[in-house]
Structure 1
């Protein structure tokens, strides 16, 4: 379950993927209802996007019953790694420290997040 180098989910496709990653599977109606909580979107737009995502191989579709069930065909982890890698290269000249400093400067992390970041740093130093 890895994303092809040629397939880059759009922002709208990523919104749908977030829902599918959380639910593991969903109908177009379920995805549309979730999307509609945050922004106005037409059902046919959601349907068309999910059909395109199926054609690209981003999602799979079980059409054995009247209501089609969609599942993510790419993992959240691999998609995040691919997109963050591209962002680090494109926006930060390959510097992960620049990315981290920018991210931490924009939204101050909670105490729990700082502890998690410190644990990650400690583990990286041990390697």
Structure 2
């Protein structure tokens, strides 16, 4: 898995976010955490089965209720997806990505301070 490119869809990413937060979870727990009015339990189940087939999550079937756990780290997945986005959407420009992100989302004062500290550490 370590050398494989992780390519989760948007729906799969939402599930991974829940699994990263909870550690281990059943389909029901993930579905309730997603709190999607427009999506049924079976949709969540199918997406989690697909994640299992892709090798992104593991499933413990030793009990009646199956327990799922992410096999990929949040940090590695985020880095891989951001790198792909920089290459494919921003023509390789990390600066354009950052400026677009900050222009479209209002960052809190604390977040801006954190960003400044990070930029200073790169000098």
Length-normalised TM-score, structure 1 = 0.91
Per-residue deviation at 1:3?
6.7
Distance 1:83 1:120 in 2: 20
Q: Which residue of 1 aligns with 2:11?
A: 12
Change (3 A) 1:16 1:106: same
3-state SS of paired residue (2:59): strand
The alignment partner of 1:61 has SS state of strand
Q: Give 1:117's aligned residue.
A: 115
Residue by residue over 1:82-103, the C-alpha shift from the partner in whole angstroms, topping out at 9 and shown as x without a partner, is 1000100111111111111111
Q: Find the residue that maps to 1:60 and give its secondary structure.
A: strand
The unaligned stretches of length 5 or more in structure 2 are none
Q: Which runs of 4+ in 1 moved over 4 A?
A: none
Indicate conservation of the 8 Å contact 1:59/1:70, yes or no. Answer: yes
Shift of 1:109: 1.4
The number of equivalent residue pairs is 123
CA distance in 2, matches of 1:107, 1:100: 11
Determine if contact 1:2/1:78 at 8 Å carries over to the other structure.
Answer: no
Stretches of structure 1 that go unaligned for 5 or more consecutive residues are: none
1:86/1:32 CA distance change after superposition, 3 Å: same
- Give the distance between the partners of 1:69 and 1:91, measured in 2 at CA: 36
Partner residue, 1:42: 40
Per-residue CA deviation, residues 36-78 of structure 1 (Å, 9 max, x unaligned), is x244211111111111111110100111110110000111101
